[in-house]
């Protein structure tokens, strides 16, 4: 597995008073294969550095290996974080735990929970709710990729010398309305943590993210191919498309009906 972990200062929050990059900002540089080899030992001393696909030496879009490493590092960190949220959410929803109020005027969260597994629960969501969730993800992605927002937080884009995994402060990212909390460490618990503690926490985060990604894919495999994951035989089969964001209830949206026909053929 290519060791695409987070660097020691990958999540240190910065809140500059102005939108300009603070003069005390740390020197920025791109990571190299050597950095990955060093990090690999911290992540898994037994396995060490293993890169059978030579991703550390790849050259995506002709931008060079350091650009590619930054892109892959950020991708793994981000997917790992979302997988950790998803894994916990899957376990909670599988137990029938839900909010006690209504999602809309006519649909209660308990009705969504009663639809079945987390896969069926997603399918049971109103189309408008799905679009709102996807839209919110798009907004967060926009600010996470914004060079202006990153500069306001004292860093650069992860492919241009910035820190992979670094998300800008929403308080300085140019959001059109006040935001009282940041996406990471909203209450400032890690603000004064030592660099050593932050580095150790980020190594733990990468390992947990990798396990969560394996766990989520295990849930998907067990739901689509009964017996594929013996330890997850308790998961009920799912007839829908685990990789599809829309289902039969969303055919009012353009192209959704055609996409479902394609999925149904496999």
* pLDDT of the residue at 177: 78
Judge whether residue 21 has pLDDT over 50: no
Say if 245 falls within a structural domain: no
CATH of the domain at 63: 1.10.3460
Say if 69 falls within a structural domain: yes
- Domain span at residue 230 reads 33-237
Q: What angle do CA 238, 239, 241 make, to 5 degrees?
A: 90
Report the Cα–Cα distance between both ends of the chain, in Å, rounded: 30
Say if 103 falls within a structural domain: yes
pTM beyond 0.85: the answer is no
**Structural domains of the chain, count:** 1
* pLDDT of the residue at 180: 86
Tens digits of per-residue pLDDT, 137-150?
A: 999 999 999 999 99
When pLDDT is cut at 50, 70 and 90, the band that residue 37 belongs to is: very high
Task: Report percent pLDDT > 70 for the chain.
Answer: 88
When pLDDT is cut at 50, 70 and 90, the band that residue 193 belongs to is: confident
Tens digits of per-residue pLDDT, 87-109?
A: 999 999 999 999 999 999 899 99
Say if 6 falls within a structural domain: no
Residues 6+ apart with CB under 8 A from 153: 14, 15, 16, 166, 168, 169, 172, 173
Say if 12 falls within a structural domain: no
When pLDDT is cut at 50, 70 and 90, the band that residue 28 belongs to is: low
Residue with tokens 């907004």: 139
The answer to whether 230 and 102 have CB atoms below 8 angstroms apart is no
Say if 27 falls within a structural domain: no
Q: What is the mean pLDDT of the chain?
A: 86
Say if 252 falls within a structural domain: no
What does DSSP assign to residue 235?
S
Which range, 96-100, 170-174, 191-195, has the best average confidence (pLDDT)? Answer: 96-100
Say if 181 falls within a structural domain: yes
Judge whether residue 122 has pLDDT over 70: yes
Judge whether residue 8 has pLDDT over 70: no
Average pLDDT over residues 223-237: 92
């Amino acid at each position: 597995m290519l060791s695409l972990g987070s660097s020691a200062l990958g999540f240190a929050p910065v809140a500059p008073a102005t939108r300009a990059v603070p003069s005390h900002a740390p020197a920025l540089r791109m990571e190299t294969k050597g950095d990955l080899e060093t990090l690999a030992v911290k992540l898994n001393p037994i396995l060490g550095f293993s890169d059978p696909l030579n991703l550390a030496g790849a050259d995506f879009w002709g931008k060079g290996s350091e650009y590619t490493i930054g892109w892959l590092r950020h991708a793994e960190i981000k997917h790992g974080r979302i997988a950790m949220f998803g894994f916990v959410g899957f376990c909670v929803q599988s137990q029938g735990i839900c909010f006690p109020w209504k999602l809309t005027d006519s649909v209660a969260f308990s009705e969504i929970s009663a639809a079945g597994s987390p896969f069926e629960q997603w399918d049971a969501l109103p189309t408008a709710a799905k679009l709102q969730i996807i839209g919110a993800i798009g907004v967060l992605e926009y600010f996470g990729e914004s060079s202006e927002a990153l500069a306001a937080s004292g860093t650069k884009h992860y492919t241009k010398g910035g820190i992979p995994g670094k998300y800008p402060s929403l308080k300085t990212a140019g959001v059109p309305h006040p935001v009282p909390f940041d996406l990471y460490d909203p209450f400032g618990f890690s603000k004064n943590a030592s660099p050593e503690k932050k580095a150790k926490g980020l190594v733990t985060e990468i390992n947990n993210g990798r396990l969560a990604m394996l766990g989520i894919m295990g849930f998907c495999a067990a739901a689509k191919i009964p017996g594929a994951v013996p330890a997850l035989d308790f998961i009920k089969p799912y007839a829908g498309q685990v990789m599809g964001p829309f289902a039969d209830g969303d055919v009012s949206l353009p192209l959704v009906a055609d996409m479902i026909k394609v999925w149904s053929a496999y």
